[in-house]
Amino acid sequence: MGDAATTARLAGAALQAKAARPGLLAARTVGAGALVVLEAVGIVIALDHFGDLAGWEAGDVAFLIGLGEAGVGFAMFFGDTLEPPAFSLLVREGRLDPLLARPFPVLLSVVTNDVQVREVGRGVVGVGVVVWGAWQAGVGWTPDRVAVTALALVCCTAIVFAVLLLGAASTLYTVEGSEFVNAFTYGGAALSANPLDVYSSALRFVFVWVVPFGLAVYVPALHVLDRDGAPGVPASLLAITPVATAAFGLAAGLAWRRGLRHYASTGS
Amino acid sequence: MIEAAGLTKEFRTRRRRSVAVAGIDLSIAAGEFVGYAGPNGAGKSTTVKMLTGILVPTSGSLTVDGLVPSKQRRALAARIGVVFGQRSSLWWDLPLARSFDLVRHLYGVPAVDHERRLGQLVELLALGPQLQQPVRSLSLGQRMRAELAAAVLPAPRVLFLDEPTIGLDVEAKAAVRGFLAELNRAEGTTVVLTTHDVDDLVVLCRRLLVIDHGRLIHDGAIEDLPRLFGGHRVLVVDLLEDRPLDVAGARLVRSEGPRRWLEFSPAEVSAPELVARVLTAAEVRDLTLEEPDIEDVVRRIYRGEVSEPTPPPRSSGAAPAGAHDDHPRTGS
């Protein structure tokens, strides 16, 4: 409770610092949202032209794109400080040390050190693309479908955040941030924009059981869009989605704790 | 307040293993003001980072105020204050007053206590006009006073300072030193000060720890330094007549009328022995022994020119200075 209130205060301070230049902030937020629209429009136009993608039509694919982008956007609002270049700089410049000297959970201190307001633009527009895709696909919004979509948004956000956390944990070992992580955050979100049907069974396995983006995006989409899943990824896996997300998040949390114990600081 | 035994930190990279701190034994009582000196890379910062729970020791035992820093980081952080001279703990883009308010919430200081203490600190450190300014617009001196205020706001039992006067002008340094001395005196705050500023050490610290190559090479009164690490001493001889003076074991470094400055190493010849040799060689009007000053010795320590004395320095308060003029030295 106390920690939550303090976290909110710290995040408020980071927001206030960002708000010092409101014009720039607004432009960046709109820009981040516009990028999502452009990306979605590009794919939708291509699909309109060529028909469908493994039986998935433009609206269906837009639904997937929107979920992935919304997850990245919301996760990056807090998680941007964990991203490889930013976090590596934090470590190399020794700015992690004062955060470690606070009587406060280190992770909460790190994520509230800076917030990326512009990423909210991406998240909100992502949700818009989800809604548009569902409308195109002729989805009738029942409470059940709304709940599954909300679950997908939460889980996708959590998984992107956990991937960022894993990357930060590895930075605590190597000091140099690895762009390898970006392949999983942005790459993961981008790949989950495609229906898993188009991937080989090996890649499908990775997306479901290793980095569970498939469980957070594709499987919920099957429910909302009333589709059958690709071989090995039935819609019934939805029950596993929250469990797998929690397990993945826990693994990332443990890696982070290990990383902090290994942290070597810098300079003298 | 601080107890360490065999405290060690090794850093391992892919192929290399380096020992930053090689088994330090340390005992600092509540209310002490201790200076921590040594050349760059000697292990000063690594030690302080272990004491504050930022780094996990490779081996050895350590408690600070009864807590194990690496295992009870958060509980310890609530009881200590840390000032990193070159890293800010403040919120760069926000008014200074906001930083103090956030510190209050981070440390859970009750609002009433906070207001009273903040009022005192703002007055003592003359920060009133800066409260509504963004931290990034403060001068270095103002920012350092602000960092001190933030570190001291939660009334820490131990205060760790890493180069708190670096880059400050004379006046700002004096303000910081005056504040620290008063804090230590009035509140009994234990202070551990790491600094390159010799005057900081001389003015503030009753006890000095010197670390070199990861080992403590001195733990005692700062006044003992010249005797232990001075290296060369100088015997000033006033001759009755202006004649050449040549004495075994000493080197003539200066000559002015009948006055001769003889430099000697206590490891090779003791002061009484040298005096005896001088007296047999010439007729003498007067003799004085010059000690290297503390500043000089500390500067040499920072340059890495001082090696370990043997036997290990006695704890402060043992025999009065001068009683043991020549420590046998084996060098290192």
State whether residue B312 is helix, strand or coil.
Answer: coil
Rounded to an integer, what distance in angstroms lies between the CA atom of residue A110 and that of residue A87? 9
For A34-47, write each residue's pLDDT tens digit. Answer: 888 888 788 778 77
Contact residues on chain A for B84, CB-CB shorter than 8 A: 94, 97-98
Contact residues on chain B for A265, CB-CB shorter than 8 A: 45-46, 49, 54-55
Residue B17 falls inside a structural domain: yes
Report which of residues A19 and A147 the model is more confident about. Answer: A147
**Beta-bridge partner residues of B238:** B259, B286
Both B241 and B196 in one domain: the answer is no
Residue that the structure tokens 């992770």 belong to: A107
Contact residues on chain B for A98, CB-CB shorter than 8 A: 82, 84, 87-89
pLDDT at A177: 58
Residue B128 falls inside a structural domain: yes
Q: A238 to chain B nearest CA, in Å? A: 39
Comparing CB atoms, the residue among A13, A97, A102 nearest residue B84 is: A97
- Spans of chain B below 70 pLDDT: 14, 226-231, 292-295, 303-332
Both B194 and B283 in one domain: the answer is no
Residue A22 falls inside a structural domain: yes
Q: Tell me what ipTM this predicted complex has.
A: 0.81
Both B264 and B130 in one domain: the answer is no
Phi, psi of B157 (to 5 degrees): -85, -30
Both B117 and B62 in one domain: the answer is yes
Rounded to an integer, what distance in angstroms lies between the CA atom of residue A144 and that of residue A89? 44
Both B58 and B185 in one domain: the answer is yes
pLDDT at B312: 37
Residue A230 falls inside a structural domain: yes
- Closest residue in B to A9 (Cα) is B102
Residue that the structure tokens 């990357």 belong to: A167
Of the residues A10, A95, A97, the best mutation for testing chain B's interface (the one with the most B CB atoms within 10 Å of its CB) is A97
State whether residue B34 is helix, strand or coil.
Answer: strand
Comparing CB atoms, the residue among A9, A104, A261 nearest residue B56 is: A261
Rounded to an integer, what distance in angstroms lies between the CA atom of residue B255 and that of residue A254? 71
Both B46 and B181 in one domain: the answer is yes
Q: A151 to chain B nearest CA, in Å? A: 33
- Judged by CB atoms closer than 8 Å, whether chains meet at B107 and A103 is answered as yes
Residue A222 falls inside a structural domain: yes
pLDDT at B308: 57
**What pTM, to 2 d.p., does this model score?**
0.80
Under DSSP, the state recorded for B130 is: G
pLDDT at B321: 39
Rounded to an integer, what distance in angstroms lies between the CA atom of residue A152 and that of residue A238? 9
Q: Is the peptide bond before B292 cis (omega within 30 degrees of 0)?
A: no
pLDDT at B331: 35
pLDDT at B313: 35
End-of-domain residue from the set B273, B290, B307: B290
Kindly indicate the confidence band of residue A70, based on its pLDDT and cuts at 50, 70 and 90: very high
Of the residues A9, A15, A89, A102, the best mutation for testing chain B's interface (the one with the most B CB atoms within 10 Å of its CB) is A102
Is pLDDT above 70 for A142? yes
Residue A251 falls inside a structural domain: yes
- Judged by CB atoms closer than 8 Å, whether chains meet at B92 and A17 is answered as yes
Both B105 and B43 in one domain: the answer is yes
pLDDT at B116: 92
Q: What is the dihedral of CA A171, A177, A180, A182, to 10 degrees?
A: 100
Is pLDDT above 90 for A151? yes
Q: Are A266 and B20 in contact (CB under 8 A)?
A: no
pLDDT at B326: 39
- Closest residue in A to B101 (Cα) is A9
Residue A153 falls inside a structural domain: yes
pLDDT at A86: 87
Residue A26 falls inside a structural domain: yes
How many helical (H) and strand (E) elements, i.e. helices and strands, does chain B have? 10, 13
Is pLDDT above 70 for A62? yes
Residue B295 falls inside a structural domain: no
Rounded to an integer, what distance in angstroms lies between the CA atom of residue B112 and that of residue B118? 10
Both B37 and B128 in one domain: the answer is yes
Q: What is the CATH number of the domain that holds B11?
A: 3.40.50.300
- Judged by CB atoms closer than 8 Å, whether chains meet at B41 and A268 is answered as yes
Structural domains counted in chain B: 2
- Closest residue in B to A90 (Cα) is B87
Domain span holding position B272: 231-290
Both B183 and B138 in one domain: the answer is yes
Comparing CB atoms, the residue among B80, B93, B98 nearest residue A20 is: B93
Domain span holding position A87: 2-8+18-262
- Closest residue in A to B71 (Cα) is A261
Whether residue B97 lies within 8 A of chain A, CB to CB, comes out as no
Both B221 and B239 in one domain: the answer is no
Residue B322 falls inside a structural domain: no
Residue A42 falls inside a structural domain: yes
Contact residues on chain A for B73, CB-CB shorter than 8 A: 100
Structural domains counted in chain A: 1
For A183-223, write each residue's pLDDT tens digit. Answer: 666 677 677 778 888 888 888 888 888 888 999 999 999 99
Under DSSP, the state recorded for A210 is: I
State whether residue B332 is helix, strand or coil.
Answer: coil
Residue A112 falls inside a structural domain: yes
Buried-state track B188-225, b at ≥16 Cβ within 10 A, e below 16: ebbbbbbbbbbebbbebbebbbbbbbbbbbbbbbbebb
Both B28 and B92 in one domain: the answer is yes
**Beta-bridge partner residues of B289:** B235
Determine the residue type at A80.
D
Both B78 and B122 in one domain: the answer is yes
